Amino acid sequence: MSPRRMPLATDCATIRFSIVIMLENLTFFRFRSIISLALIALFAVSAVLAQQPSPTPDTKSEKKDEKKDEKKPEPVTLAGRDSSKPVTAEQVAESSIYVYGGLGGRTTLNQIRKTAIERGKVSLLNAEGKTDEINYERWTIRADTFDKEKIRLDQEYPNTRFALVFSEDKIFGIYNNAAFTPRDDASKAFQNQIVRGLEALLRYKENGSTLELAGREKIMGVDFYEVDLTDKSGRKTRFYISSKTFRVMMLDYEDNGVKYRRKFYNYNYAQGTLVPFQTVLYADGKIVESTEISTITYGQKVDESLFKAS
């Protein structure tokens, strides 16, 4: 007797159930393999990162950022001052320095005016009471203080040409490449151009000069601060500074009993710094010198040999 067979439907159901169980097992094993691989990769990355040194803070960059954030000290000018407090001579002088530096002040003047080459014309009253028209050239090498400054002034008369040199706080002349001792009045006039000029005010701190506010005066409708400057040698010069523009419009000084007044005109900018292109010098109320600048250039190389006699 042959064995009894199960119905076909039952066989098919059994086969399907077996296939489902196999697929579920296969899916589980695949999922477990993927999870295992992922965990292995994660541990590997963690190990690599752990071996790398931790980033240290960039102190240089932080210092640079701190320097950028640091504010530069404001000049002691009259801008934004407390109106209830009196004006000081230093405030007036620093306001002028700020203006002459093209609103860059002392820093700009020091950067731009390291050297100067100036050319122009001068009208001079001679000993006979006549006026000499001469051409001039001036070379300057700027120093920290006047006593280390180097200045050469060439003057070309109709029949001759010579130079006056200020170097190492001494004055001498050069004619035909040979040194000579100039007259006392010529040396004194040359020295006064330097130590009693605009630069004396613009560099009062560097030269160790003292300032005093003498007062405030209105002349020909212009309101002036009167600032007295006394240098280390005791020479005193009064500067008349416009209360509106802070430009020096004139200065006074006395030398050997003669009262001098120098007036400044035709202000203009040269390489971003303020320059009076015309000056007039009075001696006891009489015009003795008138200077007009034709060209002035800053920052060009100036040969040191110009300040030496061969």
Predicted pLDDT at 81: 60
**Which of 58 and 302 is assigned the larger pLDDT?**
302
Contact between 278 and 292 (Cβ < 8 Å): yes
pLDDT band at residue 86 under the 50/70/90 scheme = confident
Predicted pLDDT at 168: 87
Q: Which of 38-47, 72-81, 110-119, 214-223 has the lowest mean pLDDT?
A: 38-47
CA 104 from centroid of its chain's CA atoms: 6
Q: Give start and end residues of each alpha helix (H) in 151-294.
A: 184-195, 198-202
Contact between 182 and 171 (Cβ < 8 Å): yes
pLDDT in tens, 99-117: 999 999 999 999 999 999 9
Choose among 211, 266, 280: nearest CA to 239. 211
Predicted pLDDT at 49: 44
pLDDT band at residue 79 under the 50/70/90 scheme = low
Predicted pLDDT at 82: 62
Cα three-residue angle 139-261-210, rounded to 5 degrees:
75
Q: Under the phi-then-psi rule, with left for phi > 0, alpha for psi from -120 to 50, and beta for the rest, what region is 80?
A: left
pLDDT in tens, 126-173: 888 899 999 999 999 999 999 999 999 999 998 999 999 999 889 999
Contact between 201 and 194 (Cβ < 8 Å): no
pLDDT in tens, 48-72: 444 444 445 455 555 545 444 445 5
pLDDT, mean of residues 238-243:
98
Q: Which of 77-81, 171-175, 208-212 has the lowest mean pLDDT?
A: 77-81
Please list, residue by residue across 240-255, b when 16 or more beta carbons sit within 10 angstroms of its beta carbon and e when fewer do: bbeeeebbbbbbbbee
4: pLDDT strictly greater than 50: no
pLDDT, mean of residues 213-221:
96
Cα three-residue angle 100-103-104, rounded to 5 degrees:
90
Give the single-character DSSP code of 115: E
Q: Which of 33-47, 82-96, 174-188, 276-290 has the lowest mean pLDDT?
A: 33-47
Predicted pLDDT at 84: 60
32: pLDDT strictly greater than 60: no
Class of domain 89-307: mainly beta
pLDDT in tens, 6-21: 444 444 444 444 444 4
Structure tokens at 287: 């015009």
Mean of the per-residue pLDDT values of the chain: 83
Could you give the percent of the chain with pLDDT greater than 90? 69
Task: Determine the residue type at 24.
Answer: E
Choose among 212, 204, 210, 196: nearest CA to 254. 196
Q: Give start and end residues of each alpha helix (H) in the chain.
A: 8-51, 59-69, 89-100, 105-112, 184-195, 198-202
The verdict on pTM exceeding 0.95 is no
Hey, is 180 helix, strand or coil?
A: strand
CA 122 from centroid of its chain's CA atoms: 31
**Which of 219 and 7 is assigned the larger pLDDT?**
219
299: pLDDT strictly greater than 80: yes
